[in-house]
């Protein structure tokens, strides 16, 4: 069953909270992972792997660099979820 | 080459050890003669021949914010906490540059460990095998690299004069302090934060050390297992934690009005070139380090009133050290109150030199030698003045000096000397 954008953002909120310590509710669509959420390049890999598991998608390394904001990631997951 | 030789002093002290989460509680435990050794009650310990260790009194992962803790190996967590204490204790209020009394370009960091991020390496190997390639943490490399603790401490205080990691097994922490002294003495830095850390309480290192017959298997009496100089000593007890100090040039300390714990007189270094793990039994290698110390620094053995011995509680090693002391210092050894604090902290491997430097400095500062516990029958070959059972006052008046000895697998010998200001 496909998840909604809202559910994805909530899931990313929990993931970012676990990895970077940012409150889950601060993880909003227009936030930048690097500039707003204390997610550096290594932690972004952790976020991606956790998101892959949670949402059942595969995010190749080459696509990770395009995921600058929470919206980028949510849209990517929406589009690619099986 | 800078021809000026700068005097070096110690202005800050920090530690997190099996006896306490900071240097004050550690010192309190040392003076009280408390053992930090406990049974290992983890499930994985059940099948090991050694089921005791000296765990750190304060879990660093519970003190650091979670996002920071999860990207630092436990050895780096210990180093960071000890470094923060030492930095604040030295009177610095922020990282170099933000605190204008220290120039980042003149600040160094030298924090060593004997084994590095071994628990990270082994845990990530488990992840690789059980969960697959994709789940291996992207933080693994900076967590397992042996220079990780030094680099993280350097980042914390903004050290730009150089960040180093000498590795010499159980001499690593003392070699780091010696390296720091040289950086300041030769003019490469004004201030250096230095020490040792280790976190290796994991089934693989324990199995490996135990299979070398290097560890005490006295599982029935954890607190009595580490017993340097006792006739029944049968190996070391593994400990974990860190000791870190702030060293600076005497001019730099004077200019900012810093409190000075002690003068860092200098170090003597040698190598046995005898065996990869066995100490040279006559003590000649250690004696060579002590001779170098005296020759390089002009230290007067008559001033040395206290020695924090390496004394890990192994049958051969403890005696080689005493033979060397007698060989170099002769009758002067008789006025040196010798303490084996590993009887209480266990053996912190690369962290030992850091923690025992802290213990040596606090012994000078308080003018008290901590005890060596668990000696029921002193080895008859131990013909030195071992401080047994209870702490003992050191001379209350006049300048006194103390040594911290550290030796490591590979035949590394490092002796450090400190003197009251």
Give residue-wise pLDDT tens across range B226-246.
999 999 999 999 999 999 999
Cβ–Cβ below 8 Å for B67 and A20: yes
Chain B residues within 8 A of A23 when measuring between CB atoms: none
User: Of the candidates A19, A21, A42, which has its C-beta nearest B65's C-beta?
Assistant: A21
Whether the CB of A52 is below 8 Å from some CB of chain B: the reply is: yes
Q: Is the pLDDT of residue B2 over 80?
A: no
pLDDT, residue B34, reads: 98
Please count the other Cβ atoms lying within 10 Å of the Cβ belonging to residue B105: 12
What's the gap in Å between the CA of A22 and the closest CA on chain B?
Answer: 9
Reading the block at residue B245, the tokens are 């100090």
Closest CA relative to residue B303, chosen from B393, B420, B180:
B420
Q: Is the pLDDT of residue A82 over 80?
A: no
- Contact criterion met (CB below 8 Å) for B278 and B391: no
The full set of domains in chain A, from first to last, is: 3-78 (1.10.1200.10)
Number of H helices, E strands in chain B: 13, 14
Selecting from 3.40.47.10, 3.40.50.300, 2.40.110.10, 3.40.50.800, what CATH number does the domain B9-255 have? Answer: 3.40.47.10
Q: Where in chain B is the domain with CATH 3.40.47.10?
A: 9-255, 266-419
Q: What are phi and psi of B230, to 5 degrees?
A: -80, 150
Chain B residues within 8 A of A45 when measuring between CB atoms: 138
- Which pLDDT band, with edges at 50, 70 and 90, does B55 fall under? very high
Whether the CB of B366 is below 8 Å from some CB of chain A: the reply is: no
Catalytic residues of B: 170
Cα B83 from Cα B153, distance rounded (Å)? 7
Largest CA distance in chain B: 64
Q: What is the mean pLDDT of chain B?
A: 97
Best to test chain B binding among A15, A21, A26, A58 (most B CBs inside 10 Å): A21
pLDDT, residue B1, reads: 43
Reported as a single tens digit per residue, the pLDDT across B305-334 is 999 999 999 999 999 999 999 999 999 999
Class of residue B153 by CB neighbours under 10 A (exposed 0-12, middle 13-18, buried 19+): buried
Cα B284 from Cα B47, distance rounded (Å)? 39
- Contact criterion met (CB below 8 Å) for B353 and B414: yes
- Contact criterion met (CB below 8 Å) for B418 and B361: yes
Reported as a single tens digit per residue, the pLDDT across B197-217 is 999 999 999 999 999 999 999
User: Of the candidates A19, A49, A52, which has its C-beta nearest B67's C-beta?
Assistant: A19
B266-419: CATH homologous superfamily?
Thiolase/Chalcone synthase (3.40.47.10)
Cβ–Cβ below 8 Å for B70 and A19: yes
pLDDT, residue A81, reads: 85
What ipTM describes this predicted complex?
0.91
What's the gap in Å between the CA of A5 and the closest CA on chain B?
Answer: 25
Chain B residues within 8 A of A42 when measuring between CB atoms: 71, 138-139, 142
User: Which ranges of B242-377 would DSSP assign to H, the alpha helix?
Assistant: 250-255, 284-297, 315-329, 342-345, 352-366
User: Of the candidates A19, A43, A49, which has its C-beta nearest B135's C-beta?
Assistant: A49
Please count the other Cβ atoms lying within 10 Å of the Cβ belonging to residue B82: 36
pTM of this structure: 0.97
Map residue B92 onto helix, strand or coil.
Answer: coil
pLDDT, residue A1, reads: 63
């Amino acid at each position: 069953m496909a998840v909604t954008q809202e559910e994805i953002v909530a899931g990313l909120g929990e993931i970012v909270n676990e990895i970077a310590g940012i409150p889950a509710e601060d993880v909003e669509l227009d936030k930048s992972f690097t500039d707003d959420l204390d997610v550096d390049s290594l932690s972004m890999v952790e976020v991606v792997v956790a998101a892959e598991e949670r949402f059942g998608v595969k995010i190749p390394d080459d696509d990770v660099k395009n995921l600058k904001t929470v919206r980028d990631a949510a849209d990517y997951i929406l589009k690619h979820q099986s | 080459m800078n021809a000026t030789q700068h005097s070096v002093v110690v202005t800050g002290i920090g530690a997190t050890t099996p006896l306490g989460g900071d240097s004050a509680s550690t010192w309190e435990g040392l003076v009280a003669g408390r053992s930090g050794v406990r049974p290992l009650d983890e499930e994985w310990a059940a099948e090991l021949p050694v089921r005791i260790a000296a765990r750190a009194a304060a879990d660093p992962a519970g003190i650091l914010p979670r996002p920071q803790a999860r990207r630092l190996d436990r050895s780096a967590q210990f180093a960071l906490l000890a470094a923060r204490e030492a930095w604040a204790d030295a009177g610095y209020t922020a990282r170099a540059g933000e605190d204008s009394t220290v120039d980042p370009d003149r600040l160094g960091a030298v924090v060593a460990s004997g084994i590095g991020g071994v628990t990270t390496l082994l845990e990530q190997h488990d992840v690789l095998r059980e969960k697959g390639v994709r789940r291996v943490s992207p933080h693994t490399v900076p967590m397992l690299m042996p220079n990780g603790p030094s680099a993280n401490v350097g980042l914390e205080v903004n050290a730009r004069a150089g960040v180093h990691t000498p590795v010499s097994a159980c001499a690593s922490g003392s070699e780091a302090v010696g390296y720091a002294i040289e950086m300041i003495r030769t003019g490469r830095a004004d201030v250096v934060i230095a020490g040792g850390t280790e976190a290796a309480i994991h089934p693989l290192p324990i199995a490996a050390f135990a299979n070398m017959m290097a560890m005490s298997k006295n599982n029935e009496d954890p607190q009595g297992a580490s017993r340097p100089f006792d006739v029944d000593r049968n190996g070391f007890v593994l400990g974990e934690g860190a000791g870190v100090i702030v060293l600076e040039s005497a001019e730099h300390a004077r200019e900012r009005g810093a409190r000075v714990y002690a003068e860092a007189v200098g170090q003597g270094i040698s190598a046995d070139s005898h065996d990869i793990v066995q100490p040279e039994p006559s003590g000649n290698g250690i004696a060579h380090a002590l001779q170098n110390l005296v020759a390089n620094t002009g230290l007067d053995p008559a001033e040395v009133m206290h020695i924090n011995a390496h004394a890990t509680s192994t049958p051969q090693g403890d005696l080689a050290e005493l033979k060397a002391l007698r060989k170099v210092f002769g009758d002067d050894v008789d006025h040196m109150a010798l303490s084996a604090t590993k009887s209480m902290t266990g053996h912190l491997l690369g962290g030992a030199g850091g923690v025992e430097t802290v213990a040596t400095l606090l012994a000078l500062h308080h003018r008290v030698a901590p005890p060596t516990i668990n000696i029921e029958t002193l080895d008859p070959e131990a013909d030195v003045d071992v401080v047994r059972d209870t702490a003992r006052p050191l001379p209350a008046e006049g300048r006194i000096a103390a040594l911290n000895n550290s030796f490591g697998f590979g035949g590394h010998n490092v002796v450090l000397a400190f003197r009251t200001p």
